[in-house]
Each structure stands twice: as C-alpha cells, then as structure tokens.
Structure 1
Amino acid sequence: MKKRMAGVGLLMVGLLAGCTTAVPSPSSPVSPGASQAAPAFAAPSSASPVPSSFAAQSTPPKLSPEARMETDRLLILAAKANDPARVRELIAAGGNVNAKDGIQDSAFLYAGAEGFNEVLQLTLAAGADVRSINRYGGTALIPASEHGHTETVRILIAAGVPVDHVNNLGWTAMQEAILLNNGGPNQQDVVRQLLAAGANPDIRDPQGRTALQNAERLGFTEIAALIRG
C-alpha cells in the first residue's frame, strides 16, 4: 500500500511539473523568437532620450555663424512677406529680430513701418530693440505714423518707442504724419495718439516750422485743432 501511494505521489509531481512554464530570471537571456510582456507601468529610465517633440522651446538653439546669418536673412524675408507662421518658426529656430539686411531693415523695423501687426507683435515678444533705427535714421514709429497705421502706432507707443525721435531728414513721427500724408482720419488719429503719449509738437523741422505751422500751411484744419487743443 505504501509503495502504491508513493507511486501516485511521484506521478502527480510529474504531471504538475509538465504543466508549469519556466519564467526566465532578469539575468537569463531570452531567445530571439520569444516574446516578453512589459510591466503595465514601467518606471522611466533616466538614461532614456527625451522625444524631440517634448524638448523645451524657450531657449533658441545654438547656431554656427553661417547658419545664424542664413536664419536671420530668411527671417527678414518672412517679415517682408508678412508671413507670421514662418516668422514664428524662424524665431524659434534662433533668428534674431534685430538683425538687419543690406538696406538696414530688420524684421521688427519693417513690420512696424508697413503695419504688419501680427509679425510686429512676434518680434516684440522676441526682444525687438524699440530704439533701433532704419537707413533714414528713424524709429519704426516714424514711418508707421507717416503711413497712418493707427493700430501699429498704438502698439509701438505701448512698447516704448521714443515719440520725439528725430530722423536724418529732421522730422519726428508727428511731422511725418503731417508732411507726408493727406491729413485724413488716420493721420488725425495718429497725431492724437502721439500727443496723448507726450510727443512735443513744438519740435521744428529743418525749415524751422512746428507741427502746427505745417498743419495750417497744408490746410489740415482738424490736425491743427488737435495740436492747439
């Protein structure tokens, strides 16, 4: 009887051994054809590379001098094409919004002069030098005032562009707003903004005329009234 029970026990042990799958230890090699389930919540490895899509974008990449020059050139072209999406990409790629081309235009200066407000806001957010000057020795505010870009003038004044800067022609933003346009509603709004920002209407042009004298001489009665007021 004891021999029979021992035999049954050995048989059960053999059956159980045949139904058990061996689990390789962490140090055991896994055959090329074998699959190994990953844990549901694996702890991240500090040595794992961070995907590029999650890389920090706040710091512009370091560029070689040649790459920087090309990126700056493309940035100015994108600004002149009024392409905010491309401008944003090139700023993120390390483009310098204060870099100038052969005729002394920067992305900031050109956007301000032409009233490309979305591009202008991008350059200001990227650290545009609000005191920078163009080939005529003028700030971005002067041509913006000349062209009657009322919203652009508002943006530039708020950004801190000097309102009484005198360019190489001897004109301030207010003088150009009067002398180089038609005295219409946009020019009136520009003059109103400049006066509210503290611009001095008594700065004279090379002929010795004040902004008021030029407005009266050209028949811009509304602008003259604004200055008198």
Structure 2
Amino acid sequence: MENGEEMQTLIKAARSGSVQSVKQALEFGIDVDALSSDHWTALMAASEEGHTDVVELLLANQANVDTKDLDGATALYIACYYGQVGAARALLASGAAIEMADDQGFTALMSASEKGYADVVELLLANNANVDTQLPNGDTALNIACWYGQVGAVVGAVRALLASGAAIELADDQGITPLMSASLKGHTDVVELLLANKASVNTQLPNGATALKVACEHGQVGAVRALLASGAAIELADDRGVTPLMSASKNGHTDVVKLLLPNARQAAQDPSMCLISQPTGGMTEVKPTQPNRWDATWGEAATRDC
C-alpha cells in the first residue's frame, strides 16, 4: 500500500472501533501518528467515536496525545466536544494537555460545557482544569454553558462548574454575565441555579440593561418569573429609560407583560404611559403619551384610562 492508503487504513480502523484491525495496521508498520489531509490522526478518530479501548491501544503504541488538527483541536478537545468521557479519561491519564485550546481559544472544558456534558465537565475539573479561563471575548466555560447550552442538558454542567468555584459574576467584554446569558436564552433551570448560588440579580450592562430586561425583551417568561421571585428590580430602566415592561410590550410578549403588570407601578403611575382599553384585533393597544417613543400590544385589559 502507498503511504496515503496506509494512513487511511489505520484511521478507518480506529474510527470503526476494531481493536484487531488497529493492531494489524500497527503491526504492518503504519505510523501511529499518520495524518489525514485535514490533519486528523487515528487517535482523534477513535476519541471522537468514543472507542476507549482503541484510544488506549494507540496511546500504548506511543501516539502523540497532543497533535492538533487544522482548527487547533486535540484528541482531548475532540473527545470532550462529543461527550466521550471514557476516551477523555484515557487521554488525561496519558498526559493530555488539559488547557490546550483550539485556534479560537476554546479549551476542552469550554467545549464540554457548551454541549452540557456534565460527566465530562466533572472529569476535567477533577483533573484541575482552569474553571475561569477566558476566551479573547471574555467568555468563560460558565458563560458559554449558560449562553449556548442545550435546554435540559446544560444545568448539570453549570452545577459542576459552580461547585468548582466558577466566578459567577465574571462577564464577557460586553458586560454579559452568566445570569444574563441564561436569562436571554430562557434556560430557566439554569437561572434558578445561578440565583440559588447568589448571582447578582440586578447587575447592569454598560447600557443599563439587567437580566430581567433582556429576559423580557426576548419573551423568556420562565426566566422572568424566576428573576422576579429573587427580587429583580422591575422598574430598573436602561440608559434610554426603557423598563422591562416597556421592553416586553414593545416586542409583543403578552405572557411576560401579564406577569409584570401586577408588580409594575409604572403601569398605574407613570404619566408618560397611556394604557388604552381599545381592542385591536382582540388585543389591547398600549401607547405612551409622548409620541413615537414606543408602542406594542398585549392581551390584558388596561388598568386605567387616559
């Protein structure tokens, strides 16, 4: 076989999970670190698929544990990205560089956190992964989990990060905290977990927006409910004077408006706002007395006349 064919034989065998085929390829003399055109090795292929026995065999045959692909990812990063905890454990036992990042600055911990693989996150943290490493934009594994995490899967990863001392208020370079990320994305269980761990509920972005404001803007009713239960300041406006109620109304989030109204003093007291009991297509139109500031509709009858 030519070198290219030999390399493909080994990588294909590793990806298939056939220990016997990998042994035969190595006995034939194929380089254990042979690279594909995209700079992948057999170790990377086995790590992606979670073939722990093949990973261990390749490592026992002196495979380079920290080779990078064209994007800067190592076998450990790849295993963590795909949630392959057994492969990740074998790689760490062979000295894989736990902090080695890809070309964008993502570490193995960040990749596992993004995907919500709590068991992988716990493994990495138990092996002393830096819980607060930041991307060039300031994101940490915690903020990444709260922002990108899969609904229903990410809470375990967040819990593991918090248990290892992740800085709960560490914001990215836009000032976005983990609580803001989870609130905007509607990860209610994560919002509740962060609040239970004493996340500051009224931290403001440089433009004055809070977690409550961004949750209202994006119609995340579960997050809004959790934030209000933890004492979020319902009247705290951004630097343009826009409150959470205004933001929810402007974007047509009726359920959020209904949730806010019983607690929003401005609805009854703010002279700049006029609530008009005139149904428009089954909805009630809401307008400010100062024209062109904002307008929206909601399905709740107005509480006072103009």
1:182–1:106 distance in 2 versus 1, CA, 3 Å: closer
Name which of 88, 91, 105 aligns with 1:137.
105
1:169: Cα distance to partner? Answer: 4.3
Name which of 167, 171, 175 aligns with 1:200.
167
Task: Report Cα offsets for 1:133-190 as digits up to 9, x if no partner.
Answer: 1222121011111111111111111111111111234321111111113442x21121
Gaps (5+ residues) in structure 2? 1-29, 197-306
Name which of 27, 34, 45 aligns with 1:70.
34
Q: Superposed, which structure 2 residues align to 1:1-229 within 5 Å?
A: 67=31, 69-70=33-34, 73-184=41-152, 186-229=153-196
Fraction of identical pairs, as percent: 31
Question: Aligned equivalents of 1:182 and 1:108: distance in 2?
Answer: 21
Task: Name the amino acid aligned to 1:203.
Answer: L
Question: Aligned equivalents of 1:88 and 1:134: distance in 2?
Answer: 23
RMSD value over aligned CA atoms?
A: 2.1
1:73: Cα distance to partner? Answer: 2.2
Question: Aligned equivalents of 2:151 and 2:117: distance in 1?
Answer: 13
Q: Is the contact made by 1:183 and 1:223 (CA closer than 8 Å) also made in structure 2?
A: no
Instruction: Identify the range of structure 1 (170-179 vs 212-221) with the bigger mean alpha-carbon deviation.
Output: 212-221
TM-score, L = length of structure 2: 0.49
Question: Aligned equivalents of 2:63 and 2:102: distance in 1?
Answer: 19
Task: Name the amino acid aligned to 1:191.
Answer: V
Question: Aligned equivalents of 1:165 and 1:116: distance in 2?
Answer: 22
Q: Is the contact made by 1:203 and 1:210 (CA closer than 8 Å) also made in structure 2?
A: yes
Q: Is the contact made by 1:84 and 1:119 (CA closer than 8 Å) also made in structure 2?
A: yes
Q: Is the contact made by 1:100 and 1:106 (CA closer than 8 Å) also made in structure 2?
A: yes
Question: Aligned equivalents of 2:58 and 2:186: distance in 1?
Answer: 46
What is the aligned residue count?
163
Runs of 4 or more off by more than 6 Å in structure 1?
Answer: none
Task: Name the amino acid aligned to 2:64.
Answer: N
Question: Aligned equivalents of 1:163 and 1:134: distance in 2?
Answer: 17
TM-score, L = length of structure 1: 0.65
Gaps (5+ residues) in structure 1? 1-65
1:68: Cα distance to partner? Answer: 6.1
More strand by share: 2
Question: Aligned equivalents of 1:146 and 1:197: distance in 2?
Answer: 17
1:212–1:91 distance in 2 versus 1, CA, 3 Å: same
- Tell me which structure has the larger Cα radius of gyration: 1
Question: Aligned equivalents of 1:218 and 1:69: distance in 2?
Answer: 41
